[in-house]
Amino acid sequence: MSVAIILVVVLTSLIPIYADIHDAGKICDELGRRSWSSRPHSVSISEFGAVGDGKTLNTLAFQNAVFYLMSFADKGGAQLYVPPGKWLTGSFSLTSHLTLFLENGAVIVASQDPSHWEIVDPLPSYGRGIDLPGKRYMSLINGYKLHDVVVTGDNGTIDGQGLVWWDRFTSHSLKYSRPNLIEFISSENVAVSNLTFLNAPAYTIHSIYSSHVYISKILAHSTPESPYTIGIVPDSSDNVCIQNSTINTGYDAISLKSGWDEYGIAYARATANVHIRNIYLQSASGSSISFGSEMSGGISDVVVDNAVIRNSLTGIAFRTTRGRGGYIKEINISNIYMSRIGTAIVANGSFGTHPDDKYDENALPLVSHIRLNNISGVHIGVAGKLFGIKESPFSSLALSNVSLSMNSGSNVTWQCSYVYGSSVSVSPEPCPELNRDDNAYGRAAV
């Protein structure tokens, strides 16, 4: 049975048990109604001298094509068409009012030569590179301060050829932090759809400081051994939809972030109003859905509904630590099916590192009003590991209609400390700390 058929069968069997209470639950419908890819003008990348033999470097062709299409911005925009073939390239930037369209059989192949990737400054909300201090390689396809941009196709492919980057990461031979496949920075009204993404060096799709981001009908895959590869990362971004997609990665499948310690606190841009639905996820060494640990600008108003999570170290994770500041709050997660998961639900207040020694250890994060409803699972190792912070306990964590079938021989089902909340119809029986709130929306019993 194909992945798509499994996804449809499982998702249609999950009946919603409550109505969305946040505008986040409407984001996918609102963005999905937009006409994203209609352009009055179109040119082919081959018209700019590109050769789709998988050997010829086409970076200049992509750059020249985008430069030419800038002239159509005030004429309804234009489409850059990529026909079948293997189009080798280094990093290049897009322009506003542009559609990049990959035909069926078209593969944009990322160069494995670091000299073909532009070097750029670290992101201000992080203060340094992610992998190591200093600059970073620009993403393969980059958008900066853009409006009305679409990356789509008829199931074309973007292959990051990440193996060389993973080897450099594990051997500590990187000169700068690894690149991503697609990154939108300070952009608005952007869409990515109907594409396959393979072997990202780090993140597959990264939206940061951006608004109205629509991601639909994509397949993102990297091998289980790929170190710290993440599928989709909404980062200090708002009004984001992720739907109808399959993501299999080495680390996290979907990870919501908003900056790192004092840099994220100073930048002060939250990730908010995010809707995630109808997704099939797998993460070998991380979490299929994670919040943080870099969340210093705040994460709030997130709705996740209808997901299948399989073969993952962790199902759903909330991560933070002292010095992060910020908050994770108003999160609604419902209609989740899990299978073969190490730990189904994690809330960890001592997770992650710091960019430097300038952080304030008294900047305590707030984690509250997390609601998980209609969660089922089989072959689960541990139901939950929920460890808050003594000076800032995780509060108003509400579980309802949770049924997890544990692996035979599992001796520990729940572990809790400095976390308070409520539980209704939860099996196996949760720890006593999850029966200390008067209701899911009330004050934490400290």
Q: What is the DSSP string of 169-204?
A: HHTT--SSBPPPSEEEES-EEEEEEEEEEE--SSEE
Q: What are phi and psi of 250, to 5 degrees?
A: -75, -35
Band (pLDDT 50/70/90 cuts) for residue 436 is low
Domain boundaries, the chain: 3-116+140-171+180-435
Cα distance between residue 65 and residue 333, in whole Å: 43
Report how far Cα 215 is from the mean position of its chain's Cα atoms: 10
pLDDT digits (tens, 9 = 90+) for 339-378: 999 999 999 999 999 999 999 999 999 999 999 999 999 9
The reported pLDDT for the residue numbered 387 is: 98
Choose among 240, 261, 379, 237: nearest CA to 320: 261
Strand partners, 277: 243, 305
Indicate the range of 184-188, 328-332, 407-411, 422-426 predicted with least confidence.
407-411
Band (pLDDT 50/70/90 cuts) for residue 22 is low
pTM over 0.85: yes
Q: Which residue has the higher pLDDT, 91 or 3?
A: 91
Tell me the three state secondary structure of residue 73: helix
Strand partners, 101: 81, 152
pLDDT digits (tens, 9 = 90+) for 220-245: 999 999 999 999 999 999 999 999 99
Choose among 83, 92, 94, 81: nearest CA to 53: 83
Q: For residue 442, is pLDDT > 90?
A: no
Output the CA–CA distances (angstroms, integers) from residue 125 to 269, 318, 382, 421, in the order listed: 9, 20, 34, 32
- 300 close to 330: Cβ distance less than 8 angstroms: yes
Tell me the three state secondary structure of residue 127: coil
- 64 close to 29: Cβ distance less than 8 angstroms: no
Q: Which residue has the higher pLDDT, 198 or 13?
A: 198
Strand partners, 85: 106
Choose among 412, 349, 418: nearest CA to 384: 412
Domain 3-116+140-171+180-435 falls in which CATH fold? Pectate Lyase C-like (2.160.20)
Band (pLDDT 50/70/90 cuts) for residue 24 is confident
Q: For residue 275, is pLDDT > 60?
A: yes
Cα distance between residue 8 and residue 351, in whole Å: 34
Mean pLDDT of 60-78: 96
Output the CA–CA distances (angstroms, integers) from residue 409 to 198, 221, 379, 430, in the order listed: 37, 32, 11, 18
Choose among 440, 299, 445: nearest CA to 365: 299
- 413 close to 385: Cβ distance less than 8 angstroms: no
Q: What are phi and psi of 40, to 5 degrees?
A: -80, -15
Cα radius of gyration (the chain): 22
Mean pLDDT of 371-399: 97
Band (pLDDT 50/70/90 cuts) for residue 437 is low
Tell me the three state secondary structure of residue 347: strand
Q: What are phi and psi of 65, to 5 degrees?
A: -65, -45
Cβ neighbourhood burial of 166 (10 Å; 0-12, 13-18, 19+) = buried
